[in-house]
Chain A
Amino acid sequence: MTIASPPSLTENPQCRDWIDLSPNGRVTLKSGKVEIGQGIATALVQIAADELDVDPDRFDLIAGHTSLGPVEAGTSSSLSVETGGQAVRLAAAAVRSLLLDEAAKLLQAPKTELSVDNGRISVGERATDLTYWALAPTVDLSAPVLGHANPKAPNERRLVGTSMARIDLLSKVASAGFIHDLDLPNMRHGRVLDPPARGRRLVILDDTSLNAAFPNVKIVRDGSFVGVLAAREDEAVQCMAALRMCAQWSDAEGGPHSLAEAIAADSSSVEEVFCKGDTASAEGRVVRTEIERPYLAHASIAPSCAIARWREGCLEVHSHTQAGHDLKSALAMAFNIEPAKVTVIHHAGAGTYGHSGQDDVAYEAALLARAVPGEAVRVLWSRFADFALSPLGPGMVVTAEAKVAAGRITAFSIQSVGQAHVFRPGRGGTVNFIAAERLSAPPPKGIASDVPLSRGGGADRNANPLYAIPNVHVSKRVLHDLPYRTSALRALGGYANIFAIETLMDDIAIEIGSDPITLRLSHLQDKRAATVLEEAASMAGWPGVSVEGEGLGVGLCQYKNRSAYCAVVAKVMCGEQIRLTQVWAAVDAGEAINPDGIVNQIEGGIVQSASWTLLERVALTGDAVSTHDWGSYPIMRFSEVPEIEVRILNRAELPPLGVGEAATGATAAAIGNAVRQALGIRIRKLPITRDAVLAASAS
């Protein structure tokens, strides 16, 4: 079997970068990929336990520790199983092989006759006293993974492919399982003064009266960055509330009135990212659509939180960041110290679904901790900050155009326009922490560069249609002149691009009088895509029966055109309200490491996308975010969630593919297409609300 080397092994080539057989009787598995609610901790343990033949309960996981664990790219882009998981599989296989080499020598038996049961070696049927841990001192785990890895064949795996329960869930149900609950000795509580919007300056801060009222609170100020430190959290909270009343900020700056206006005014240029054939000279009738997605909030349930401590010039940060190594480099850059002097340690937070305030708050904790060397400082963001100062998922306008002749799509062009989709700390030559912009000597502002298509794309993610079309043109325009702060939100541009493409596919079907599924199938050469589509259609009983006000719609996606395939059929009931009643999804994620974990991720992706599609919109007023609480930014509730059925097409012989973001675009498209079928009205500007439908039917 040829083994492709996952990128995670390049920087961490040795077995011991991944696995330690200590303490006695335990296996320490090390990973750079962190648990953010997606179940990766469990999947990694399953993979390693299977290769090593050691029970999962013997495993301890070190994940996201920049000093003790491997250097891996952040936990993003649905790559944790694809790259991190494959690296773990190879490392575990290599460790097993090295241990069995040694065991074969000691037992004077051929390696091929050895087997392992929970770390104990058998020769043929005969169990021996020899265990991995007895062998460990004589085995050199600095050996390269790739020289020794010979992972099991798919049919030899026993744990992988089963729905093992999450190893971390119990601690999160009813215990102190989150970073918010971490309590270091003599820890101080910090809070930071929120500006009304990014870019505002503190004009007056008359805090003279506060010293008497809060004698135990330390106020730290640098330019327009102000924080408070107190031994008691409630004291920090109350002092900050009082401080807020003493602050006067510079006036609001202007902003565009609409995304369309911003796009028209922006000086950015069009980048061609993919071209095949010649769309201009292709023959056919033109079908065109333009969709708009608003800015969206990550809207994590928990406030962003971090703890920092400076000791002898070294910085230790506890964080729920998705990208510990990026954070480490950016902190080193921000404080002008050697990266080796920064340690970032991951702790569980609430789901963030992308780059939220998680890194910003870590920087703010480090800034405040600098004022009290040796002491740990915990900073918690306000709900306002998490909505209004955290990066947003950028608004987008996507224009898609097809030419159709004799039932075939002859040409397809798409252009995706919006702000950059990824701007994590340390990228673009700047630290990119929002509080750094408020310092008296702020670092230079960087320019976000969107993710290139070779790395999955940003605004152009999933813009290249999955369908077999002879002439294709894909371009994007990344806007840089807007005041809003944007970065990664689940699926990046993939959500809006799939919404556009799959909306257009339905419009084409209507135009030529074809069934939407039939049209798609007739343009699919990729068998796996066709199979999930047929499966979802069959689950939903497509095309269903015609009931007034009810509609079925479909959407299809292969995430990043290289990860999991997902087809979604949605049913809506359009009466007084637009109600999403049922959703069916079929998924092909290659080898399913943990089937129920996949189902859970797809269900979650469907609900989150349905929430974006039907309810969510960040309101922007000038330079400010004006939706900054759950009242003004509603998300889907228990009473609004549809019934969901997910089916996995397991392909144990194929590489596992990331699923976390696969459902978002297909769900949005399925909902839009279902509303179109139910009402004959096409809503192109998200979200699809009752008001949007009323406005569209009035025009």
Chain B
Amino acid sequence: MQAKHFVLSINGKQCSVAVDPGTALLYIIRNDLDLKGTRIGCGEGNCFSCTLLVEGRPQQSCSLTAAAVEGKSIETIEAIRDTELGQALIASFITEQAGQCGYCLAGILASAKALLERQPSPSRNQIVAAIDGHLCRCGAHNRIIRAIEKVAFGRRMAG
């Protein structure tokens, strides 16, 4: 392993890390920066558990390297959960009890926030399309869709 220095913009902070250029962003976030809310899933870009936001768009952190995201703004669940939208989503997930084991939820929250930011009042189909890449094995799908729909509805009502 040949460590190289990278400066990453994570949750509004400039973070300097020394990592092998081949290291996945997921490991940098979780281990070097100790932000463990981003889940480790398949490591192959297929389950979307490790989704976070890069420039506001959902990306799978297991399939990104530091070089690919240098200079870009990265938002993890630790920042998402403190935003107004993140809070509303989490509250809605709890109200709907939208989850069983809960492992897929952090990644889904990231995708849901990105959707609601670019499309404040999405249809059910748009919600489903926005999270369709995320795998949930417990079968909490309908509750998850409903939790996001209710936040969208609340925002629509609030104008």
Contact = CB atoms under 8 A, between A and B. Distances in A.
A binds B: yes
Interface of A: 36-39, 163, 165-166, 168-170, 172-178, 180-181, 183, 213-214, 216, 232-235, 237-238, 299-303, 348-351, 353, 380, 382-383, 596-597, 600-601, 603-608, 611, 629-631, 635-639, 641, 643-644
- Per CB-CB distance, the 10 closest pairs between chain A and chain B, nearest first, are A172-B102, A607-B139, A37-B101, A604-B139, A350-B103, A176-B36, A351-B101, A37-B100, A181-B36, A630-B46
B23 A176 contact: no
Given A173-B106, A214-B1, A351-B103, A299 B137 contact: yes
B158 interface: no
B39 to A, nearest CB: 7
A36 B138 CA distance: 10
B140 interface: yes
Contacts of B139: 603-608, 611, 636, 641
Given A173-B105, A173-B109, A630-B135, 15 more contacts: A36-B101, A169-B94, A170-B94, A172-B99, A173-B99, A177-B102, A181-B36, A302-B41, A351-B100, A383-B42, A606-B139, A608-B138, A629-B46, A638-B131, A639-B129
B102 A169 contact: yes
A607 B140 CA distance: 8
B93 A173 contact: yes
Among A351, A606, A635: residue with most chain B CB under 10 A? A351
A606 B138 CA distance: 10
Given A37-B101, A232-B31, A603-B143, A635 B137 contact: yes
A382 B137 contact: no
Given A176-B37, A600-B100, A383 B43 contact: yes
Contacts of A170: 90, 94
Interface string B42-56: 111011010000000
Interface in B82-116: 86, 90, 93-94, 97, 99-106, 109
B35 to A, nearest CB: 9
B1 A629 contact: no
A233 B140 contact: no
A37 B102 contact: yes
Interface string B39-83: 111111011010000000000000000000000000001101100
A629 B132 CA distance: 17
A233 B135 contact: no
Contact of A638 (B27, B46, B106, B145): B145
A351 B27 contact: no
B128 A630 contact: no
B142 interface: yes
* Interface range on chain B (Cβ under 8 Å from partner): 35 or more
A36 B100 CA distance: 8
Contacts of B136: 301, 638
B128 A639 contact: yes
A165 B142 contact: no
A603 B135 contact: no
A180 B39 contact: yes
A180 B49 CA distance: 13
A301 B135 contact: yes
B22 interface: yes
B90 A302 contact: no
Given A353-B137, A603-B140, A629-B46, A234 B77 contact: no
A209 B47 CA distance: 34
Contacts of A216: 1
B150 interface: no
B77 A237 contact: no
B42 A300 contact: no
B90 A173 contact: yes
Contacts of B24: 234, 237
B129 A169 contact: no
Contacts of B138: 37, 351, 604, 607-608
B141 A607 contact: yes
26 contacts: A37-B101, A169-B94, A173-B105, A173-B109, A174-B81, A174-B109, A176-B37, A178-B103, A213-B1, A216-B1, A232-B1, A233-B31, A237-B24, A299-B137, A301-B41, A350-B101, A350-B137, A351-B137, A351-B138, A597-B97, A600-B143, A601-B100, A605-B139, A607-B141, A636-B139, A638-B131
A603 B102 contact: no
A597 B100 CA distance: 9
Given A302-B40, A641-B142, A172 B105 contact: yes
